A and B are shown apart, each in its own frame.
Chain A
Amino acid sequence: MQATVEPAGAMETVACPDCDLLQQIPPLNPSDRARCTRCGHILATAPRDPLDLPLALTFTAAIFLIIANTIPLMGLSVLGLTASTTILGGALEMWQTGEPITAAIVAFCAVIAPALYTVFMLAVLIAARRPPAPHWIGEMLRWALSMQPWSMIEVMMLGILVALIKIAELATVDPGIGMFAVGMLVVLFPAIMVSFDPREVWKRVEWVDGRLHPLSAVRGTPRMEQAQ
């Protein structure tokens, strides 16, 4: 049996992920941030609405993700010849012209990682609304967070712009609805990350070992802020 370091009152004891220093996170006012006293790492944030706002944003992102992946990003015409491409169409062309590994990397960073991030976040945020959330939600959150660095919508957007400027010398390019959807995603993904507080989910999740953390018993008991 492992002993857990129980928080003293409302203060949560954590070790800084970047320097391992033990410290307590004081109760935060909305929009406050707690930084590590030694290395400056942001230990905790307190978004005003840590679950519902990111849920609304993730839902919107899911819709734009579908649009961005089904409608062509842009069309091109030169001397009567035309061409157009979607995101996956780009990866597919890479595959067919003899670069399957590069195509797989592009597909992963541009489509698969953002899609998995969105799906996992939706599941986590919906399940966390009614605590205690089942423990597999923790697993999903871990997957969502590990997809985050590989989801490269904003890098892709800049890449498309550079490609367009190169091509504009040779042909007429018309940006499509798909491109607009990508632009929306560039704004939505950082907004989800800023407005979301993983600590809020961990408070509500059922523990793998079957116990329920005292702070996670949100259901039926007054919220900790009010209990003081």
Chain B
Amino acid sequence: MSATGLTAAQAGLVSCETCNLLTQPVHPERPGHCPRCGAELESRRPRSIQYTWALVIAAAICYIPANLLPVMNTTTLGTTEPDTIMGGVVFLYTSGSWPLALVVLIASVMVPIGKLIALTYLLVTVQRGVQGGTRERTRLYRMVEIIGRWSMLDVFVDTFTVALLQLKPLMSVEPGLGVLFFAAVVVLTMLAAETFDPRLIWDSGTRVEK
């Protein structure tokens, strides 16, 4: 594969984020729309850093009630017991299915916090104009993008537990407020991964972002 060593931005070109068509806009500041697919052209995702920071901070705030508040309330013969995410992991572990306990622990506890740390690291290094480790940081970004969806696991576990265990008067399960905050963490971090522009990692030195 032949490479010119120039980026599209350096060459005054814009690549369409939807269909990948390269165009040379007359006004690089206002590239307009892609002539092929009609999507709005942007050299870099607009206000990528600000939006990503806002979403990461919002997700970090939701992460606390997501772990402290119960995700489910189980009522058995009149007595109600709250269940947090960690409680669910412990339940799976003590009931003998430790591989599943590990899967839930990774998907529900470690992946969300790992995503928040990774996105914060990417944001800080881009803002400081760090030049090294570009390949590794791009790989980290791709991992955040791919793994992110798996933290929705616990929301599905709670949904189907609630849906099936409606055996009144014997037993019933109701969702707790924690599951709302938990779903919010997953959605916000997924949106943060979408607003972050990995090309900024490679732009350091010649900063395009204002």
Contact = CB atoms under 8 A, between A and B. Distances in A.
B155 A159 contact: yes
Interface stretch (A54-62, A103-111, A220-228): A103-111
A101 to B, nearest CB: 6
B22 A5 contact: yes
Interface stretch (A45-53, A79-87, A115-123, A187-195): A79-87
B24 A97 contact: no
Contact of A105 (B3, B37, B153, B183): B183
Interface stretch (B50-58, B123-131, B170-178): B170-178
Interface in A65-93: 73-74, 76, 78-79, 81, 83-85, 89-91, 93
Interface in B1-24: 1-9, 11, 13, 15, 17-24
A110 B164 CA distance: 17
A156 to B, nearest CB: 5
B36 A22 contact: no
B36 A19 contact: no
B22 A94 contact: no
Contact of B1 (A23, A85, A166): A23
Contact of B202 (A19, A34, A102, A160): A19
Nearest to B44: A20
Given A78-B167, A165-B100, A99 B179 contact: yes
Contacts of B141: 18
A38 to B, nearest CB: 7
A39 interface: yes
Contacts of A41: 138, 142
A63 interface: no
A30 interface: no
A37 B3 contact: yes
A64 interface: no
Interface string B149-186: 11011111111111111110011001100011001000
B23 A2 contact: yes
Interface residues of B, number: 79
A149 interface: yes
Nearest to B156: A159
A162 interface: yes
Interface string A135-168: 1001101100100011010011011111111110
B91 interface: yes
A10 interface: no
B104 interface: yes
B86 interface: no
A152 B162 contact: no
Contacts of B25: 2
Nearest to A159: B156
B35 interface: yes
A102 B175 contact: yes
Contacts of B19: 138, 141-142, 198, 202
Residue of A22, A84, A85 with most partner-chain B CB within 10 A: A22
Nearest to B208: A20
Contacts of A1: 26
Contacts of A161: 100
B92 interface: yes
A98 interface: yes
A209 B35 contact: yes
B155 A4 contact: no
B134 interface: yes
Given A11-B2, A18-B141, A84-B164, 9 more contacts: A5-B22, A18-B138, A22-B22, A78-B167, A94-B163, A106-B183, A135-B37, A162-B100, A209-B36
